[in-house]
Amino acid sequence: MPRTSAPRGAIRFRISPTRPLLMVEAEVNGQGPFNFVLDTGASFCVITPKTAAAIGLKPAGKKPTAIGAGGRIQASLAKLKNFRLGSHAVRNLGVAIMALDHIEQRLGVEVAGLVGYNFLKAFVVTLDYPNGLLRLKRRAVRMRKPVKR
């Protein structure tokens, strides 16, 4: 049975039929939607070179080696103007640009990138598996106590 649209503020996710990975649709720099994997174990968001080309994103110059489930992978770094899941956006988000062939092969579907910690840390994240919903709530900003002199 097809699901209805998500309740206000929630994002629908799908679970890959071949692996227990959560798939969400995201907008990148105002374009999309693109198919992303929600990866709570990734410290950084990732977009593929194909996605970067589609949105006209150029690497910033640094080329670190990323280490993940697929082993060591060469990456480039860049900044997105805006990354949006549903109604929730983060501006000036750092991303790694790297191939995700190993994930695409396992899933049997094209993936535009990974949603990682550097996006998720701005929110309280709730996963409602029975209803296939991701809920994001902006974290309250904590005020530091003034320093006594």
Q: Tens digits of per-residue pLDDT, 87-112?
A: 999 999 999 999 888 888 888 889 99
How large is the average pLDDT for residues 78-95? 94
Instruction: Tell me the average pLDDT of the chain.
Output: 85
- Residue 25: beta bridge partners? 35
Residue 1 pLDDT > 50 = no
2 pLDDT tier (thresholds 50, 70, 90): very low
pTM, two decimal places: 0.82
Convert the pLDDT of each residue in 125-146 to its tens digit.
Answer: 999 999 999 999 987 666 566 6
Strand ranges, E, within 13-147: 14-15, 22-28, 31-38, 45-47, 65-68, 71-74, 76-85, 88-97, 113-115, 123-128, 133-138
